[in-house]
Structure 1
Amino acid sequence: MKKILITLLFLIGPIAYGQSAFAKAEQLYRADNYEKALVSFTKLYDQDGDNLGVIERLGDIAGHKKDFKTAMKYYQLLVEKKPKDAHYNFKYGGAMGLYAKSSSKLKALGMLDDIKGYLKKAAKLDPNHIESRHALSQLYCELPGIVGGSIKQSRFYANELLKISPVDGYLAHGLINEYKEEYEKAVISYTKAIETGGSLLTYRKLATVYENKLKDDKKALQTLKRAQIKHKDRQLTADIAGLEIRVQMNE
């Protein structure tokens, strides 16, 4: 779950800039060379501390390095400069949520209202904002009811996703079904996600339920082999080989 939120948060990039220095720094970032990208974007920030694209990338780099406290600092600057930007509110609330997960329970509880507030603001500012709704659905699903968790609220945002992006909606419902240990329903949701989108992620989510929750290696193998027809991926090939050995051993 956490990995999904990280992916949503830090792969959403700033608007491209024409300046060559920014373009070179961005190239380093896109190549996952975060240390060199950090040096380049820091120099740009020293030259122009009001460049929103530079500030955002510094936050993104900190996020990739799992330094969520620093990421929060940069995203807060963005929100202060453009408080009605859904993108920035989502990133700030998301980084805050990831920081809270690595903090003490008491500290996390103290941040909860702010996390919800910024994510909800992002969703309100942009009725088609997918990432904030994913994050809110996940948040309400994972939180205990005593501190504001609600499957009903989680389903609400998953249903909003269905209207905006059906594949994202089915993925969100699948995660809720898994959390509730309703694995057959999760299979239905992830199957619909495959039929709607067909990304490698959708196949992997279904295969994982079969393998880890329903203990059905054959169906997990069948799912990954279907994925292999559409997607060429080295790790996928290795996973299929490992499952084939296990299935043969159990026959």
Structure 2
Amino acid sequence: MKQLVISFLLFPLLIWSQTNFEKAEKFFKEEKFNQAKPIFESILKNNPSDFKTIEYLGDIAGLEKSWDKAIFYYKKLKQLKPTEADYFYKYGGAMGMKAKEVNKFRALGMIDEVRESFEKAIVLNSGHVDARWALIELNLQLPAIVGGSESEAIKYSNELLKLSPVDGYLSRGRIEEHFKRYKASELQYKKAISIAGSKMCYQVLANLYKNKMNEPEKAKNVLEELRKKELSENL
């Protein structure tokens, strides 16, 4: 009888929480973050361990470039559920963005935690594509003296090739482009187009032609090819 009474009293609260969560989630998907955030924050007060609410608040903080808040929410998620790869990936991403805004000495102290977070995401989920992309970019952006490594970037690109060929070719193209080996990069991007043909694949090749190889006519031709492809698919 006691349990029945407690359930009866809690029922309206649960209904309220669910209804407001759905409303906040709808706002989030519509990119109305200013409307979603206060609702999520209100829900969190009543349920401080609600994973999805915390994640949404972390995502909103990230979209607002409020990196300290994003780090706070993602760190809480890691502590609540240390077996979820995405929480480590998002935490590492927020830490990495924060490191870009602070002075070099402080940033150096954050790099290991950023790298370890992405590596942990891969340990928890061996098929984590985004964490490998993040590690590739980290190894390209960091000077060798503080841990940057082309060979490490290539290692993760090769892993991507096995998991998702299009990501493998795109990431290898990104590496070649970073080191100004534009012909090699062009070849990799063309391989990505041949197996996926997505809009992004065409755009990265067009950007390479236009911004790096100074061949605007080739860029124009690639975008025209994309336009024709999209038209034929919509017929």
Considering the TM-score relative to the shorter chain, is it more than 0.5? Answer: yes
Number of residue pairs the alignment of both structures matches: 215
Distance 2:46 2:230 in 1: 43
Which residue of 2 is the match for residue 224 of structure 1?
223
Distance 2:91 2:155 in 1: 22
Distance 1:193 1:23 in 2: 38
2:134 is aligned with what amino acid? A
Which residue of 2 is the match for residue 14 of structure 1?
none
Shift of 1:179: 0.8
Which residue of 1 is the match for residue 175 of structure 2?
176
Which one has more relative contact order, counting CA pairs under 8 Å at least 6 apart? 1
Shift of 1:27: 1.1
TM-superposition CA deviations, 1:203-241 (whole Å, max 9, x none): 110001000111111110011111112447xxxxxxxxx
3-state SS of 2:197 partner = coil
Q: Indicate the percent of aligned positions where both proteins have the same amino acid.
A: 40
2:177 is aligned with what amino acid? E
3-state SS of 1:146 partner = helix
Which is helix-richer, 1 or 2?
A: 2
Which residue of 2 is the match for residue 107 of structure 1?
106
2:137 is aligned with what amino acid? Q
Distance 2:89 2:227 in 1: 34
Distance 2:229 2:106 in 1: 45
Shift of 1:83: 1.2
Distance 2:91 2:223 in 1: 36
TM-superposition CA deviations, 1:87-137 (whole Å, max 9, x none): 111111111111111221111100011011111010111110011011001
1:210 is aligned with what amino acid? Y
Gaps of 5+ in 1: 1-17, 233-251
Distance 1:85 1:72 in 2: 16
Distance 1:23 1:194 in 2: 38
Shift of 1:170: 1.2
Which residue of 2 is the match for residue 212 of structure 1?
211
Structure of larger gyration radius = 2
Distance 1:108 1:117 in 2: 15
Distance 1:94 1:172 in 2: 18
2:199 is aligned with what amino acid? L
Gaps of 5+ in 2: 1-16
What do you get for the CA RMSD once the two structures are aligned? 1.3
Shift of 1:160: 0.6
Which residue of 2 is the match for residue 19 of structure 1?
18
Query: 5 Å matches for 1:34-183?
Result: 34-183=33-182
Whether contact under 8 Å (1:138, 1:172) holds in the other structure is no
Shift of 1:196: 1.9
Structure 1 segments (4+ residues) deviating >6 Å: none
Distance 2:78 2:230 in 1: 38
